[in-house]
Amino acid sequence: MRAEVNIDTQDIVKEIAQEVVKAIRPLLVKNNTIDDTLFSVETLSKYLSVSTQWVYERVHMKEIPFIKMGKFPRFRKSDIEKWLDAQKIPSINTLSRRLKVIK
């Protein structure tokens, strides 16, 4: 007689993924691939070369990713890098003719 065994593969896959992340994270941090630096409003404004008022406005309008620590917004560098990448405006027109070199 065969006994049926029900295995929830999704739970197993999740557990394996969590273990892989645990194993890989130290290697990524060691190679500076993951940067969990937290910026304050002031340090982020310097990093982005904008005013602190600009940062506060983006936080108020929820246009920039942030973490609330009490009443203080903090910004994870990796989230800001992803946000910056999403702000890119691709070029549409390529140069149609050669540029003239001025000597």
Domain membership flag for residue 97: no
| pLDDT computed for residue 33 by the predictor | 57
Residue 69, domain CATH: 1.10.10
Report how many domains make up the chain.
1
Q: Could you tell me if residue 103 is inside a domain?
A: no
Assigned domain for 37 exists: yes
Task: For residue range 2-16, list pLDDT tens digits in order.
Answer: 667 677 788 888 889
User: Mean pLDDT, 10 residues at a time, over the chain (103 residues)?
Assistant: 71 88 75 75 97 97 96 94 91 72 79
- Say how far apart CA 40 and CA 59 lie, in whole Å: 12
pLDDT of residue 32: 57
Kindly list the distances between the CA atom of residue 14 and the CA atoms of 21, 34, 60, 92, in Å, as whole numbers in the listed order: 11, 21, 35, 41
